[in-house]
Amino acid sequence: MQGCRALRTTLSTLAVMAGMSGGAAAQELTVWTLTGAVEAENAAWAQIIEEFEAANPGVTIRIEQRSVDEHKAALRVAARSDQGPDIYFMWAGLGLGGEFVQAGLSAPLDAYYEQYGWEDRLLPSAMGFTTAFTEERHGVPYSFAGEAVYYNKALFEQAGITAEPQTYEELKAAADALKAAGIPAFTFGGTVNWHLMRLMDVILETKCGAETHDALKAMTADWTTTPCAVESFAELADWSANHILSPFMGIDQAQSFNLFLANRAAMMLEGDWLVGQISQAAPIEGFDLFIFPTGTGRLYGFAEYLYISSRSEHPDLAAKFLDYLLSDEVQQRHLGAFGAISVNRNVEYQDVGDAEQQWLDIFADHSEIFVNGDQAFPLDVTTEYFRVINEVAQGNMTPEEGAAAMQSFIVNRG
């Protein structure tokens, strides 16, 4: 009996000691994000974590970085377990970050927005998605990207194009002039479905206007009875048949970029990040950019967010870390590491190149955005959207069949 009591006492003492040591210090935060697109991004994460840990003794931050598909799959697998992250990266659209918010897997951050004054610190355009899916605020912007048409100045000159197209008709005229000069207007990589999707997105915005385009993407407008939907597919077919460097279905975006750098096509529809990528590979002076002339005045772009998991045991610490990441000082120091522009409105831009300045002006001039199709639709509809775009672009579906396939899928999913 006495032996048993002694054993119980010893175990209790050990348990109390273990509890004390764990409670007093040792808080661990787990961050799941993507592997950085450029080394500067990975280096920035490492430094920010190191600094935060140094300023908060006893805190350990474990970062797990994965490629896009692995990250999505890992988050879904861990969603209902206790093995998931405290903070996770996700694109902010309906089919991605929005799905997690709606499933209750993101913690509302209203209290932290107030506590840390994030609303005054962050770009309003970048914060647009925080209240897009619920009345509470979810997530903080990590990066904000805009997409535009990059063009090769020499090829434009060769085709006799003297001014940047201001309207869609002028863009088509420029494409015809390029074709006459034997130069394909655009290059796209078809294996990554989202690349060619960009062309369809901007055509829909152009042909349908902002309101109808949004209704089509929100699946409240009928694709078969909305004439601009069929018209947009017809335009996509025309661009694919006449103005895209062929063949393009068997190459990816990276190969398409290499072809663009090799002067094989005049234009590329890409994000602000391409400035850095071109600069690393070729003289940036040889290229310029303009907004795809949709005529609606909205910027084509998307946001990437960091969310605090609703299952996190340390939401306060997670918010504190995000506050440090978004601070003026950190964002200023790592300017360019997370994207061309910072989500922090207090960051100052000095000694920026012409292309970067152009992007800063574009962001300043646009208060409204329309997002990429793969962020606007739920995942299953995105997959069908990709399929239909590819079929129409390859001439395997007529524009009418494309619109009908989209509508049929939307109706069937209920």
Partner 1 sequence: MMRRSLRPQAEGYMLLLPALVVYLIFAFYPMIDVIRQSFSEWNGLDAQSRFVGWNNYRVVLTQDPVFWGALVNTVLWTLAAITLPNLIAFGLALALNQSLPARGTLRAIFYLPVIIASIAVATIWRWMYDPFFGLFNSLLTEWGMSGWIQDWLGNRKLALWSVFVAHLWSSVGFSMVLFLAGLQGVSQTLIEAARIDGAGRYAVFRHVTLPALGPTITIVLVLSLINSLKAFDIVYGMTGGGPAQSTQMLAMWAYTQAMQLGSFGRGAAVSVILLIITLVIVIPYLRWTLRRSTT
Applying CB under 8 A, the residues found at the interface with partner 1 are 69, 72-73, 76-77, 79-80, 99-100, 103, 105, 190-191, 193, 246-251, 255, 259, 264, 379-380, 383-384, 386-388, 390-391, 394, 396, 405, 408-409, 412
Distance from C-alpha of 41 to C-alpha of 231, rounded to nearest angstrom:
41
**Which residue's CB is nearer to partner 1, number 259 or number 326?**
259
Distance from C-alpha of 366 to C-alpha of 369, rounded to nearest angstrom:
7
**Which residue's CB is nearer to partner 1, number 148 or number 392?**
392
In whole angstroms, how close is the CB of 387 to partner 1 at the nearest point?
5
In whole angstroms, how close is the CB of 114 to partner 1 at the nearest point?
28
In whole angstroms, how close is the CB of 229 to partner 1 at the nearest point?
17
**Which residue's CB is nearer to partner 1, number 20 or number 73?**
73
**Which residue's CB is nearer to partner 1, number 53 or number 401?**
401
Instruction: Say whether the peptide bond before residue 293 is cis (omega within 30 degrees of 0).
Output: no
Distance from C-alpha of 130 to C-alpha of 150, rounded to nearest angstrom:
30
Pairing of strands 87-91, 27-34: parallel
In whole angstroms, how close is the CB of 381 to partner 1 at the nearest point?
10
Residues in the chain, total: 414
In whole angstroms, how close is the CB of 103 to partner 1 at the nearest point?
4
| Exposed/middle/buried for residue 17 (C-beta within 10 Å: 0-12, 13-18, 19+) | exposed
Taking every pair of C-alpha atoms in the chain, what is the biggest distance, in angstroms?
Answer: 100
**Which residue's CB is nearer to partner 1, number 7 or number 77?**
77
In whole angstroms, how close is the CB of 259 to partner 1 at the nearest point?
7
Pairing of strands 87-91, 287-290: unpaired
**Which residue's CB is nearer to partner 1, number 201 or number 356?**
201
CB atoms within 10 A of CB 175: 24
In whole angstroms, how close is the CB of 377 to partner 1 at the nearest point?
11
In whole angstroms, how close is the CB of 136 to partner 1 at the nearest point?
17
Distance from C-alpha of 193 to C-alpha of 384, rounded to nearest angstrom:
11
What are φ and ψ of residue 32, in 5° steps?
-110, 125
**Which residue's CB is nearer to partner 1, number 11 or number 103?**
103
- H-helix or E-strand containing 388? helix 379-393
Closest CA to 273 of 295, 246, 301: 301
**What is the residue whose two structure tokens read 């694709």?**
223
Terminal alpha carbon distance of the chain: 67
**Which residue's CB is nearer to partner 1, number 53 or number 99?**
99
